[in-house]
Structure 1
Amino acid sequence: MKFKININKEAKHNGVLCCLDWSKNDEVYTIGDEQQLFKWDAKTRIGTQVAKLPEDFYPTDLQWLCGTRTSTKSSGPGSNSGNKASDSLLICSNDGRFIMLNRSARAERIVNAHVGSINAARWSPDGTGLLTAGEDGVIKVWSKLGMLRSTIIQNETPIRTACWSPNSMSIAYCTGPFIAIKPLAANSKLIKWKAHSGSVLCLCWSNETQHLASGGDDCQYKIWDSQGSLIYASFVEDHSITSVEFGPKGIYLAVGGFNMLKLCHFTGWSYSNTKFSSPPIGSVYSIRWSKDGTQLAAGGGTGTLIFAHIIEQEKVSRNLKAKTIARKVIELQDIVTRTVDTLDFPDRIIKWEIGYGHLVVATTNQVHVYNEKYTNTPLTIIDGRPDVKVLILAKKHFLVLDSTAVSIFTYSGRLHLTPKYSGLTAQLTSLNEKTLSLGLHYMAVRDCGDESLIYVFDLMPGASRQNEVTTCHTKTTVQQIAVSRAGTVDDQYMVFIDTNRDIFCASLKNGSNFEIYKIGTQVLSTMWASESNMLVGLHDASYSIWYCPGEACMDPTVVALTRVTFDITELGKNIVLDNFEGSIVTFKSSGALYPIQVNLLCETLHKLLNDELWPRALTLCRRVQDSILWAALAAISSKKNQLEIAEEAYSASLQIDKVKYLQHIKNLAPNSYEQMAEISVMMGRSNEAETILLHNNKTSEAIQLCVRMHRWERALDVAKSQKNQSDLEWVLQQRKKYLNAINRDEYLQPFKQIQQ
């Protein structure tokens, strides 16, 4: 992967091209030391002058605020309100002033903000205000109309640059060799650390990964987390790093220096390094990505304007490898037959994915769907999908997130579902691959206002389900969600990772009654297998495979038996989980792909059990005699009420307590309510077992179940509600025996009241 560079030969700026920004996906505004503001067409690379600033106004920074921005941090479920703002261009100067221009290049406001130069002026991500940082060591926050709100920082030394956090709740700035983060909340603590051995020259904060990137006089660029921990430090370059900028999708990082432009991964390692010798462009002082993240513009010290877009991006699905060889061309290669097809598109490619037998390509206004076996003509072309941000493929459907809606299509091009919930329109700009997940039968999305809330949509065919949404409330903030991509309708699960890096699993079968179970800790990212309900989770220096997380999640013992952890320190640092196709997990580290084969027999077992071939699955386990296979078979067969197979599988896994319990269940009347309740208890669904007994007038059995589960207060409530004196006396008698056994006095208030 690399940049395709286009240098504008007719430089319109005589001095340094100090600042630039995109107003649209194909429109760039630049300004230089000669005070002339130009507008450039990225397609034709032709520039026209739109304004001439005062001669004593020497610009230092520039940024557009385009369209409607909405604050997701203040909006919650049920709120569609947003902070609307017309297009406004913010330009600051070296004499302490900043100016606001409208789309017609007319000055709407000029403000004297600082004593000395303003080194940085930035609109907040939610569009409600802006910050300015100057050589006087002061950072101020202003309203979007240019009214002073507060002075955040008063420093003794000059502030080189500053930027907002993605949620607009903190400000990062650099002074000398230090980087500091100042939260805007009252009485919050300043985080400060020494970042470089020389002065820090540039700083940016990723909206997607929450990482910070910095470059300095020590000729290095570094990646940090939001607490100041170092993630990556580059090798020493030949010259100082003068600009860094994360792409809007959070995947790429652009780094600029003297006659140098690098394309890097967000974890720091470099895809490509472009050196400029003829003509020399000087130091790259400003880099800006387009809104769709496919191209960038950069300004050099000689007044040169650089346009670049990403090419040679590769993706592999089984025997097919696809690669972009130009901004409108994809090359599709069959590795087995060694045939090569070239696909030309009328517009620039924004997003594309390959998998499940299809290639889906999103251009600036259309979505093209191809069958991998017949690439001569597309299966369908979907019009009117502008600015596609997220594209997710599943076995039966694919998801498109653009600037107007979230849409789910079939591969024939039919619109299958348009998920809707209160506040979705305001959150479209904040959704990404981590907060959206498309599975085989369900789709899940995390609310961007309340980050502990997950919406789940059913994809089953039938009547319109776009407004039929169920909600899952979690106790902590959710960072990533993933819905299973295989299995039957009854075997659909969702996992999510919270801010503590714990991973949880929940079944999607029971509608709104989500029972959440913790299945692991210290997980950075996770992904379901494409053809079976196996799950991979990436840790700091290892990865774990859960061979049946959904069926085993109710019992921590079974989770431990069906999970295997492998060390991958030899792959290096900053490892990224790339794909989990079939039984092969692919990791990416420093640009290299590392495919790793997981237990192939477990995938075979899942396929047999999905087809309900229980005798063949049992024969497989008997021949292989693998402990993981036996444990997976035990967990799945227990859920499917295959008691004979479950008993043998648990016996082979040395789970004697479960074998005894299964024998007790088998001695009950087949298909009786008691047996159904006992099976629910074994699966960890005690509330369901109690409901089965109570709804079928098995009150005494329900009370006995509550006592066995040590749910004393519930047992007492049921006995009181039925007004059966014998059941009440039996509960009190069992409670007395329990207290005598543990040698304690009564401590539950309902039982104390009865004693009194």
Structure 2
Amino acid sequence: MKLRTRVCKKSSIKASENSAESTPQPNNYPLSCVDWSSNEEIYFVSDDHQIFKWSDVSRDSVEVAKLPDDFVPTDLHWLLLGGRSSGGGKGSDTLLICSNDGRFIILNKSARVERSISAHGAAISSGRWSPDGAGLLTAGEDGVIKIWSRSGMLRSTVVQNEEAIRCARWAPNSTSIVFCQGGHISIKPLAANSKSIRWRAHDGLVLSLSWSAQSNIIASGGEDFRFKIWDAQGANLFTSAAEEYAITSVAFNPEKDFLLVGTFNMLKLCHSTGWSYNSARFTAPSVGSFFTLAWSADGTQAACGTSTGQLIVAHAVEQQLISRNLKATSTSRKSIALRDIANGSRDVLDFPQRVVNFGLGYGHLVVATTHQVHIYNEKYINTPIIIDGRNDTRVIEVGKKYFMILDASSIWVYTYTGRLHLNPRYPGSQAQLPLLTWRSLSLGLDVLAIRDNSDTSLLHLFDLMPGASRQYDPHSLKAKQQLAEIAACRAGTQDDQFVAFVDANRELYISETRNLSGERQDEIHKIGTQLTAIKWASETNILVGLHDSCYSIWYCPGEGASDPTIIALTTITLDTAEFGKHITIDSFEDAVVTFRCAGALLPVNVSIYCEVLHRTLIEGQWQQALKICRMGQHSSLWATLAAVATRKHQLQLSEEAYSAALQIDKVSYLQHLKTLTPSSAEQMAENSLMLGRMLEAETILLHNRKYQQAVGLALRMHNWRRALEIAQKHQAEEPGLDMLQKVLEERRKYLKALQREEWEPLYLPHVLVEKEGNSSE
């Protein structure tokens, strides 16, 4: 990954300058106000009071308007809504400019002043539209932060003290504000009665801040020559080595895990975890300090304003994606080199438009330009399939059967033949579209999972099977906490599909994506804790998860989720101390997990026996699976086979596998199952009970009118309320059986063993009836 930069022509700084001059003039003003109005246009203004527009098409700049002579700009920000990537649609013609006398003005795209407001008693250091477009904030050197409506009406004063505020930014969800004063950083939630967080961040002044919409982390740059990364609670995640000069600007990429850092005569492109991709130095000619950095909405370009008045546009090139034998590298703005390391072939793919995004996997390369999507098959690289009308694609995720793209207008699922398979919609989906990121979406084998942005504990699951009802009416899965990361499994069979997710407490849960209903809340199972990232294997249902100082591999996370014993037997945790710090999961192809640390790729193999075992189980080759377990002779193999075989009603195999895994209690239970009538309601219910599906077992018995057995099941589970409800409801249908009396008798035994009086409100009336009956006798 590298930055490719160019210094723009200088007719933009003074109207009388020669446009051919690219070196800074002595009377050039510092350029501290730069932002993108679309992916092709940059607006900027300096102390000469003139607003200029630079176009990527004409590669030149023109004067748009002139500000009053007493209005010296300090910050500039465009409002981009209605598809933030396009820079078009509702609200995209609104420009906010702040000044050093405490005023701010709101202009439309015709440069007409809509509002001019005196907001502060000193210079405004930051003026920013909120991510949801509902309002704006202004932060001043008078120590005050104010929230304004979109039309410029004052809503509230959220911060008020005497210390000057250097920089302020919104949280991605518009519910908090981060700002810096001196060497401290503070986070102020906007909710009523909420407390602020404040911590010492740098030895000198904090000069710049940026809050990532992708990872919910904060970057800061200071006069101590370092940039640092923090989480939303103020914990330090990364501290850079000291640079030669102060860090004057930082900016997170809106669509990718990139961080751009600016200092004197240098730009640095970093990963969001802190390690550096590339540095671009400007020594001949010198451009000075980078005062402001602004990424384009699609995340492919950055506009930079410098202390010498230069406007510099940077592009991220040499992005690499690797999948098995294929490696794709963006060599320029309009070309990608595709290399097949298996046969040594290399093709350079040129595009008529700028490449915005690309994805690689399962033998296909999907490339999105500004207005098209190109689909390449590795076997027919010279004949791509082209989809027109997909503007400014923000996310591409490649799956085994389909690929998914998120663009400026909607979410789309396509087949590799270019046919539209699904355009998923759910309540509020269009309003949430600008705030969706790649962390909010996950494409599985036959399911698309989307996290709801208005309620981040809600997950929408779309079935991708042709003709499935959930294509247009998704099932919604409700978690207990907010979801931080989601991952739908990418392999398996149609009946074995799972979705895993990490919540705000960093706990890992898993659930089936099929046969779910609102009543089956027990389908969500917790299988891990303290997770920072997760990823499914490309060809098997093996899951890898990353902790702070180790990583875990779940060899049977789906079928074994309901049984903690199986999860314990099939989970392996290994140390990552030798890898270093700030590790991320780059890919999980076949049996190789690739971690990335400080830019280095670290491949690690999972158990090849487990990987081959999963492949044979997907194909239903039970005898072959048994041979693999006997050859490997490891408890994780046997436990995986046992869990899958039990789920598929292969009781003979389950018994042998559990026996080899030394699960004697389960062997005894399976022997009891074999004594029951095959395929009877009793056997199916007992099998569901073994899989941890108590509600399913009860439903089977009630559906087959086995009311006595259903009551007995509830009593075995000590579900006293349910046992009494079933007995009362179905007593009339079993006149020969006094089920109610049996339940009350078992309850009496239970209370006697506990040596307690009855406390359950549902049982108290029956106790009173018994006492009255005894007294009358």
State the TM-score bracket (shorter-chain normalisation).
over 0.9
Residues 1:675 and 2:683 are matched in the alignment? yes
**C-alpha distance in 1, partners of 2:469/2:730?**
43
Q: Is the 8 A contact 1:681 1:689 kept in 2?
A: yes
Residue type at the aligned position of 1:500:
N
Residues 1:644 and 2:652 are matched in the alignment? yes
User: For each residue in 1:320-342, what CA deviation from the matched residue of structure 2 results, as whole angstroms up to 9, or x when unmatched?
Assistant: 11101101110111112222110
Indicate the residue corresponding to 2:775 in structure 1. none
Q: Is the 8 A contact 2:83 2:409 kept in 1?
A: no
Residue type at the aligned position of 1:3:
L
Candidates 520, 531, 543, aligned match of 1:523: 531
Residues 1:353 and 2:378 are matched in the alignment? no
Q: Which deviates the most, 739-748 or 709-718? A: 739-748
**C-alpha distance in 2, partners of 1:737/1:370?**
70
Indicate the residue corresponding to 2:21 in structure 1. none
Q: Is the 8 A contact 2:81 2:133 kept in 1?
A: no
**C-alpha distance in 2, partners of 1:123/1:340?**
46
| TM superposition shift of 1:465 | 5.4
RMSD: 1.5
Summarize the alignment of residues 451-600 of structure 1 with structure 2, pairs less than 5 Å apart: 451-462=456-467, 466-513=471-518, 514=520, 515-600=523-608
Q: Is the 8 A contact 1:11 1:304 kept in 2?
A: no
| TM superposition shift of 1:464 | 7.5
| TM superposition shift of 1:86 | 5.5
TM-score, reference length from structure 1: 0.96
User: For each residue in 1:416-466, what CA deviation from the matched residue of structure 2 results, as whole angstroms up to 9, or x when unmatched?
Assistant: 111111111111111122211111111111111111211111111137754
| TM superposition shift of 1:8 | 1.7
Residues 1:333 and 2:336 are matched in the alignment? no
Indicate the residue corresponding to 1:658 in structure 2. 666
Candidates 254, 260, 270, aligned match of 1:264: 270
Residues 1:721 and 2:735 are matched in the alignment? no
**C-alpha distance in 2, partners of 1:558/1:742?**
32
- What SS does structure 2 have at the residue aligned with 1:551? coil
Indicate the residue corresponding to 1:741 in structure 2. 753
Indicate the residue corresponding to 1:391 in structure 2. 396
Structure 1 ranges of 4+ moved more than 4 A = none
Q: Gapped runs of 5+ residues in structure 1?
A: 71-82
**C-alpha distance in 1, partners of 2:558/2:607?**
18
| TM superposition shift of 1:484 | 1.1
- What SS does structure 1 have at the residue aligned with 2:3? strand
Residues 1:55 and 2:69 are matched in the alignment? yes
Residues 1:401 and 2:406 are matched in the alignment? yes
Indicate the residue corresponding to 2:32 in structure 1. 18
| TM superposition shift of 1:5 | 0.9
- What SS does structure 2 have at the residue aligned with 1:122? strand
| TM superposition shift of 1:232 | 0.6
**C-alpha distance in 1, partners of 2:280/2:766?**
82
User: For each residue in 1:174-198, what CA deviation from the matched residue of structure 2 results, as whole angstroms up to 9, or x when unmatched?
Assistant: 1111111111122221211111000
**C-alpha distance in 2, partners of 1:673/1:239?**
76
**C-alpha distance in 2, partners of 1:382/1:274?**
36
- What SS does structure 2 have at the residue aligned with 1:560? helix
Q: Gapped runs of 5+ residues in structure 2?
A: 14-27, 769-777
- What SS does structure 2 have at the residue aligned with 1:680? helix
Candidates 760, 765, 771, aligned match of 1:753: 765
User: For each residue in 1:658-685, what CA deviation from the matched residue of structure 2 results, as whole angstroms up to 9, or x when unmatched?
Assistant: 1110110011111111111110110011
Residue type at the aligned position of 2:588:
F
**C-alpha distance in 2, partners of 1:37/1:15?**
13
TM-score, reference length from structure 2: 0.94
- What SS does structure 2 have at the residue aligned with 1:527? strand
User: For each residue in 1:16-55, what CA deviation from the matched residue of structure 2 results, as whole angstroms up to 9, or x when unmatched?
Assistant: 1121000000100011111111100124320000111112
Q: Is the 8 A contact 1:11 1:303 kept in 2?
A: no
Indicate the residue corresponding to 1:5 in structure 2. 5
Q: Is the 8 A contact 1:69 1:127 kept in 2?
A: no
| TM superposition shift of 1:721 | 1.5
**C-alpha distance in 2, partners of 1:722/1:137?**
71
**C-alpha distance in 2, partners of 1:549/1:251?**
28
Q: Is the 8 A contact 1:11 1:305 kept in 2?
A: no
| TM superposition shift of 1:714 | 1.3
Indicate the residue corresponding to 1:418 in structure 2. 423
How many residues are treated as equivalent by the alignment?
Answer: 743
Residue type at the aligned position of 1:727:
M
User: For each residue in 1:192-239, what CA deviation from the matched residue of structure 2 results, as whole angstroms up to 9, or x when unmatched?
Assistant: 111100011111111121111111111111111111111111111111
| TM superposition shift of 1:245 | 0.5
Q: Is the 8 A contact 1:417 1:465 kept in 2?
A: no
| TM superposition shift of 1:67 | 4.0
Indicate the residue corresponding to 1:217 in structure 2. 223
Indicate the residue corresponding to 1:615 in structure 2. 623
**C-alpha distance in 2, partners of 1:375/1:537?**
35
Indicate the residue corresponding to 2:609 in structure 1. 601
| TM superposition shift of 1:105 | 0.7
Q: Is the 8 A contact 1:242 1:257 kept in 2?
A: yes
User: For each residue in 1:120-150, what CA deviation from the matched residue of structure 2 results, as whole angstroms up to 9, or x when unmatched?
Assistant: 1111111111111111111111112222222
User: For each residue in 1:63-100, what CA deviation from the matched residue of structure 2 results, as whole angstroms up to 9, or x when unmatched?
Assistant: 11134489xxxxxxxxxxxx963621111111111111
